[in-house]
């Protein structure tokens, strides 16, 4: 059963990909053949996804069959309990306000646009997850405890700590209007409950990820170029932590943005 930091990293990496999460959920009803899994989640890279889940001790592979391991079953049960605990918290949430727009900086991906950093108070902490269904293109990321929303070009991220970032903003007026709408939507949900919006699929292109990578083609991730790394990130064949240059302070914002985009992969 995973316990040491390396094993926990394998589990986090395995569960960071949407296809692998779908496979895990598909297995909750019982053992499945690899063919059934392929029909349900898609056959592309299926062997690779199964291998990563097996390496993380989440599943067991037999002769053409796949089952959840005992650890995998307990892992999903714990996750479900944590998630339902979070939903219960919305009733405790207080109305929020945007207390401060702290910074307006040029966007990394397009210097003619701005990246806004603001503050929302009181912080919503774990209750953010409950708000995900409010936004057609909203995704909650457990990894960074943040709710990420895409509308047109603008990506807004609310962190559990209260920090809010917005990218591809034209000017301060647009930022204030978008933040005001966000506050109204959240406060209405706190007052009246969450009315789920129809879900919309968000597709992230490799070029979008590439824009935020260091673009030095240094090879430290084991790939020949940053663009190849972006393609493999999309297909779930690699993970963001393999690009170690991103840990350098000068890439802190790039790393933050890539973590946000990863929620849509
Ligand atoms: S380690 Fe990062 S910077 Fe280096 S090639 Fe890979 S993606 Fe590019």
At residue 89, the pLDDT reads 61
So what's the pLDDT on residue 4? Answer: 67
Q: Check pocket membership of 230 for ligand 1, CB cut-off 6 A.
A: no
User: Which domains can be identified in the chain, with CATH numbers?
Assistant: 5-88 (1.10.10.10), 93-192 (3.30.310.10), 206-262 (1.10.15.40)
**Considering only CA atoms, which residue is closest to atom 7 of ligand 1?**
226
Q: What is the pLDDT of residues 92-150, one digit of tens each?
A: 778 887 777 777 787 777 778 888 899 888 988 878 888 888 888 888 888 788 999 88
The torsion angle over the Cα atoms of residues 78, 84, 85 and 89, rounded to 10 degrees, is 160
Distance of CA 210 from the midpoint of ligand 1 (Å): 10
Instruction: Please write the tens of the pLDDT for every residue from 59-82.
Output: 999 988 999 999 999 888 887 766
206 CB under 6 A from ligand 1?
Answer: no
Of 137, 163, 165, 164, give the one whose Cα is nearest residue 151. Answer: 137
Tokens of 169: 């903003």
* Residue with CA nearest ligand 1 atom 6: 221
Q: How far is the CA of 212 from the centre of ligand 1 (A)?
A: 11
User: ipTM of the predicted structure?
Assistant: 0.98
Given pLDDT bands bounded at 50, 70 and 90, which one contains residue 219? Answer: very high
CA of 216 from ligand 1 middle (Å) equals 6
214 lines ligand 1 (CB under 6 A): yes
Q: Determine the number of helices (DSSP H) and then strands (DSSP E) in the chain.
A: 10, 9
Give yes or no for residue 219 CB within 6 A of ligand 1: yes
- Burial bucket for residue 105 (CB in 10 Å: 0-12, 13-18, 19+): middle
Q: What average pLDDT score do residues 51-58 get?
A: 93
Q: Read off the DSSP letter of residue 198.
A: P
pLDDT mean across residues, the chain: 85
Whether the pLDDT of residue 235 is over 80: the answer is yes
Assigned token pair, 227: 């663009």
Q: Is the C-beta atom of 210 inside 6 A of ligand 1?
A: no
Nearest CA to ligand 1 atom 2: 243
Quote the pLDDT of residue 88. Answer: 45
The answer to whether 164 and 179 have CB atoms below 8 angstroms apart is yes
């Amino acid at each position: 059963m995973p316990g040491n930091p390396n094993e926990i990293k394998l589990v986090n990496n395995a569960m960071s990909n949407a296809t692998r999460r779908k496979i895990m959920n598909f297995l909750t009803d019982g053992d499945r053949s690899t063919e059934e899994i392929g029909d349900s989640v898609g056959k592309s890279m299926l062997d690779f996804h199964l291998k990563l889940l097996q390496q993380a001790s989440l599943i067991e592979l037999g002769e053409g069959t796949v089952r959840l391991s005992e650890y995998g079953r307990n892992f999903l049960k714990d996750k479900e309990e944590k998630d339902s605990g979070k939903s219960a918290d919305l009733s405790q949430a207080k109305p929020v306000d945007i207390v401060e727009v702290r910074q307006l900086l040029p966007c990394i991906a397009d210097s003619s646009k701005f990246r806004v950093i603001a503050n929302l108070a009181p912080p919503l902490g774990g209750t953010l997850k409950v708000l995900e269904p409010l936004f057609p293109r909203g995704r909650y990321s457990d990894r960074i405890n943040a709710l990420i929303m895409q509308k047109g070009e603008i990506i807004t991220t609310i962190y559990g700590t209260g920090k809010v970032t917005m990218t591809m903003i034209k000017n301060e007026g647009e930022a204030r209007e978008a933040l005001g709408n966000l506050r109204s939507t959240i406060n209405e949900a706190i007052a009246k409950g969450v009315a789920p919006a129809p879900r919309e699929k968000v597709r992230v292109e490799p070029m979008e990820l590439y824009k935020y990578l260091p673009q030095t083609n240094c090879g430290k991730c084991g790939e020949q170029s940053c663009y190849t790394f972006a393609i493999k990130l999309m297909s779930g064949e690699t993970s963001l932590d393999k690009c170690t240059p991103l840990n350098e302070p000068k890439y802190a914002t790039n790393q933050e943005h890539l973590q946000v985009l990863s929620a849509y992969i």
